[in-house]
Structure 1
Amino acid sequence: MQLDPRSLIAMAGFMSAMMAVVLLFMRRNYPPNIRGLDYWAAAPVLWLVSAVLFGSRGELPQSLTVVLANQALLLGAAVYYIGSRRFLGHGGGWALWGSVAVASTLVHIWLTYVTPSYALRVAIFSLLMTVLYGAHLRFLLRHGDKGFPIRLVQVVLALHILVLLTRFASVLVGRAGSDIMEPSPFQTAYVGAYVLTVLMLSIGAILLATDRVRTELEHLATHDSLTQTLNRRAVMQLCQEELDRARRYGHGPSIMMLDLDNFKAVNDTHGHQHGDAVLVHFAACTKSALRSEDRLGRYGGEEFLVLLPDTDAPAAHHVAQRIHALLQAGHPLDCQLSIGVTSWQGQTDTLDAMLARADAALYQAKKRGRNQTCAG
């Protein structure tokens, strides 16, 4: 196939169709809390419409192959941008870019039928797309993370901005050409850059959604679904890693076992939904009493485990007192709890030994009347 503009546009249409199918399939099968996928799936559909209309130039009216084709291309980029905003938890975008699309349509109608000017159409459209891609790039730089999928989209946007600025500059120096289908190296390069941009932006959307699913699956594998604390396997693994670190550096952690007092009576009296609400409230209060490096995990039922890295016994006891105080503030879901705390005792200490001491201290706190902390 000869790489002229018409062939490249056909290639862009084929790629858009394939990417639209993939993204629509993902939209249907991925979790609904991954927002933006519907917009990302709509973008290549619009790019496909644009490619079909551009490729039909000479066979269909200019209202379709010039005006509507350009607006479908612009709307595809705008919809993709709005999808990125939704994906990263932001709204907005439609009012501004919908208005821009309407204004662009009117300008293209004027420059196609009233005072025809291919060069002016190219200049205005290039500037509009530059501003749109620039807004998208700025948003991703401000709100995106540093992962590869975000970086990929940022690079693609930045490179295509350079292409658009070059195309705008070509108008200023009188090298815009006479038609997009003109078989010149410049037109071929511009359309080729557009084809690559369509492909890479679609791949970027796929990678972003897949990465989000992977992150959520990892979270589900390590966290308790109700309280959003670490699950037993994850917190035990962190405890073991902290003890390994303690043996290397000579100063170790403290561990607290927490058990909500008379929790069965709460479930029996008020129902399991109320009991779940108590657990969620307890987890939130306890997290607020901990440092960023501390870890809270659900050990089983109403029993929780707290890992306090590089913390001695007095500091651990102080944390326990803070937790008691927070759960006696008068909130309707406040509860009482018993805490058993123990600290690392040197190179020969093991996780099993620490858990046994913390559990024995917890039993002692229960035996002494509950709602208190004992050390082991």
Structure 2
Amino acid sequence: MSVSFGLLGYQYINDPVAIGSFHAIRKGMLTIASVGNLGQSRAVISNGAPWLLTVGASTMDRKFVSKLVLGQIVLCERRSTGYGVLVGDGAGFIIPVLTFDEPAVPFSFPATENIDIVLGYIRSSEKPVATILVTKAWKDHLAPNVAPFSPRGPNLLAPDILKPDLVAAGAEILAAWSPIASPSIEPTDTRRTNCFINSGTSMSCPHVTGVAANTKVINQKCSAAAIKSALMTTSYEMDPKKLENEEFAYGSGLLNPSMAVNPGLVFNASDEDYVNFLSKQGYNTTTVRLITGDRSVCKSNKPGRGWDLNYPSFSLPVKYGHEILGKFTRTVTNVSSSNATYHVSVNTPDSINVTVKP
């Protein structure tokens, strides 16, 4: 189930997506939810519940580059729909690259990372002019990268749970569009279309949902948590040199549809595991039942760490200047069609030591 909706900073008992998706996973249905579109700020993710598969957005190796027209062009220093330029008979406009809702206007609108350069030219010229040429599709040799609008963690509600879980293509996606509304969503815009190029984690989320459904068809005995694990543990590793300090942006990595169907080992989790997680987050029997809707009981109200949950990724919050020390317990299940032997390989910085037992 795909959900392109979320609330920032809401406790699980007040979050309809968290509550609804908990009931869904109890019925064997995995909910894939978008992480939001709040950009490169830290700790601004939505849908951080551990029973959700939370999706960020990446670029892909095709990008649209606008070129064309000499005339009245407006520079918008902030995100804009361009509608004001349209009604003012402008020939085009330029917007910052940090945007996710692509304007729907009948002229070109290049996005640029060099807004300061454009501003400098405008201020230094008595009659500044601009040329925007016809849009073309170019190969993006820097892809995949985390899209600039895709928000970063950490997950403030549960820092021990790494979010987002992974990323998938969500920038400049050719998507279906309802003809009920205009592409600009402006009331005076009479245009209608059945498709539209759009960007956002609402675009990446359905990609992951489709792969999850395909993985479930091939692995019908796997639980929803196991399907989630399959997508996370088989994801492409993002380049840490190109994406320095961006682990909180891409999670486990980039969605890998072909590998997800045969994950080998999975990290499974049950309803009881999630209830125990909530107990360690400070929930009691009364508040847990507001989420579960049944007679679930918290066995202990003693605060604990979220890393005890059998989660497919590992996150260790450490205070600045304190020792980096943590112990994670995980149980893996072989879902391969035959018996297999697995070997552990760990890559860490020289300053960190990781020991795996057994």
> What is the TM-score with the length of structure 1 in the denominator?
0.22
| Greater RCO (Cα-Cα under 8 Å, separation 6 or more) | 2
Rg comparison, structure with higher value: 1
Task: Please identify which structure carries the higher strand content.
Answer: 2
Q: Which has the higher helix share?
A: 1
